Amino acid sequence: MHTAVVTIRELDAAEAETRLGELAVILVDAVAHGASVNFLAGFTLAEAAAFWRGQLPGIADGSRHLLVADDGERLIGTVVLSKAPQPNQQHRADVGKMLVLSGARRRGLGRRLLDAVEALAAAQGRNLLMLDTHTGSAGERLYSGSGWTAFGVVPGHALTPDGRPAPTSFFYKQL
């Protein structure tokens, strides 16, 4: 793998659209390696590109922000900040699609993406973040070790990519 410095940065809608293929690769890789991120085994690059294409309007209008890990040759990680649209929740946002290519893991990129999305949320006036993750996953360990508070586990909340019901852990963080 390329060993250049990895930068964490935000993509605007125009750049995200031109890089849909790279974004799709990251998402398909996550599902193929067992991540419970809304999709099942057999998930294709075309389906992943369609998912990311569906995120573009929110990125364009500022209701959603896409941060990426970029090694200078390709995108190798993502995290999405989705601002709560309700008038009584203008202080809150959800974190999702926290993904790092399997070949780039164990280098601190997840932590860097998480730190960056937290800083972005604070800069956007959001001081309460929420997320969920597969119970027992690397993501759960990352969030627990990064000052997030677990507030519940729902058994059978989501299916694993191979179709088995699995528990989901819910977290929040006050910034």
**How far apart (Å, rounded) are the C-alpha atoms in residues 80 and 68?**
9
Continuous segment of H or E residues that includes residue 17? helix 13-18
**pLDDT value of residue 4:** 73
- What is the DSSP track for 81-147? EEE--SGGGTTEEEEEEEEE-GGG-SSSHHHHHHHHHHHHHHHTT--EEEEEEETTSHHHHHHHTTT
pLDDT tens digits, 36-55: 899 999 999 999 999 999 99
Residue that the structure tokens 């599902």 belong to: 31
Q: Is 52 helix (H, G, I), strand (E, B) or coil?
A: helix
At the topology level, CATH places domain 7-174 in Aminopeptidase (3.40.630)
pTM for the structure as a whole: 0.95
**pLDDT value of residue 1:** 46
**pLDDT value of residue 139:** 93
**How far apart (Å, rounded) are the C-alpha atoms in residues 6 and 33?**
22
Query: Which residue stretches of the chain have pLDDT < 70?
Result: 1-3
CA 157-163-164 angle, 5° bins: 60
Strands 75-83 and 92-100, by their bridges, are antiparallel
**pLDDT value of residue 2:** 47
